[in-house]
Structure 1
């Protein structure tokens, strides 16, 4: 069963500005800022995996070729292209402009040995699953829920693996379309997701008390909050929250688990409220669209980074999960910074800080 993480952070206003590091807009003229795959494309640009065409064009809707896939994978995997073993593809002589990259990925076991490589041919969605699973050794479920993918489908296990890791979700009608050729934008998205796959523990560590600086939109005051964990019953545990300045209690956060499902919520009027809901593992890109069904609606959630950096409480954190939330119900943008094994270390609203972890103390 997939792990599911439900996390709540009360929306408030902030007190000071902080830049978000490591995220830069792509300069391609044919990739708009509203493109739902821009986060993944930006990531590959920053990593030097893709360069595009002259005149700042990316040609996102052009079908990707097998030779282009070989080049991108060689860069992404940082494969050596010196002293490569000749794969002896009849249509890839040593004089081919991408001979070294094609040889490198074949030597790495990403592509099969064969008489021909077909460097200018397109790559199907099913073959994409095969090469990415091999390249990144992705492990996952051996079953598939796609209506057009059965045990007899080429790449069945690989399609199931990337699906169970949220690299692909398929189409709205429940299909995967394994024989459909991939565009440059879509292959870039799948590659970036495989590169950034992360399965962290984003809940607070119950062995510690947490102290946060918090500015409340409700009363426009600054608070220093202390979160203390206590066992509640067999299903529900609670983080009791109090203001250290006045010793007054805030709304407690409930933490509960049920098998492989984990949740963290705020108790409001004898009910639980969730303003974030997402599944693990995570990867960069949009993970919730405004029109998706589920516990939350009208919200777009985008993982901006799984290897980001942020400073909180005077500590520089690395390998940070950076999650951006936009809602059709408000104009603001919330940005959450999570650290594996620690949980939330900072939250912004419209680029200003409203929660910041000051310290953790062993209880």
Structure 2
């Protein structure tokens, strides 16, 4: 039986009443500046390396399918003084892996960082393996850390001659504190005279509020808004002993951020999230469901025994059309606050998935004054 649901047959009429023309002064919560911006130069750097995991229980790479594993194993043995030239090395307990890590800001030589290990060949599991000394390079090609240690895989696998069971991802794991920093980044943070703060969500109003909060805290012009996503700090004007002392005072200041009105919906789970600045013009909404059902029950006709003839399949189709009573023509008044918008939409008495269709149609009618994001 086939069933098709034409849900959300909506009729929308945009009423003549415009959206409220006043300025909404919400009482949003204040947020620390450190949670709104990224400081110039205070950032991590990605590292990557190519190495070997050894000590696997026969779950390593097949050398025939992953010849690069044999090549790196031979090169490593040669560096250790083992001559394997011309020999066929075919172990089953070795796997080639990519090793990734993030070098945190201001990491000093000798510090430990976590690394992630991922198989790149046809290895079945990295459980119980040990990562052999692997240099980690940055984008400039320089080695900044060296990784080595026991791999902690995030899955499990078991297999027999006729079946195999896998839970999680046993071909990927981590080595906590498995890399030691060998080179420091060449960044003179203490010598900076001006420092820029980059907003994670660019907005002119939020940038202006950050500028005002910093200048009010020092009582003089210390911060200057460059654009919607950047605020510059004059370190010398702060009178602080160093840029670090200046940022310690600035990052704890609180401002009330301003964001664009946005409605985010997830069609898979039926989740709807609205920002506090969402506004709705006065609209009328009608919603109903139309269901079409088609069932096929073919009839087979056969000739009598020992009679000449052919078996014939006679099609037989039953179709029905059902229309559920809709909500009628419901009016949603213009909303001046998020609570009024939610109350007006809830008055329709529909499910969250039907609400998504209604919001789409209201946006198409021009009555939803917010950015509509569908995931």
TM-score of the alignment, normalized to the shorter chain, above 0.5 = no
Give the TM-score normalised by structure 1.
Answer: 0.22
> Normalised by the size of structure 2, how large is the TM-score?
0.22
Structure possessing the higher radius of gyration over alpha carbons: 2
Q: Which has the higher strand share?
A: 2
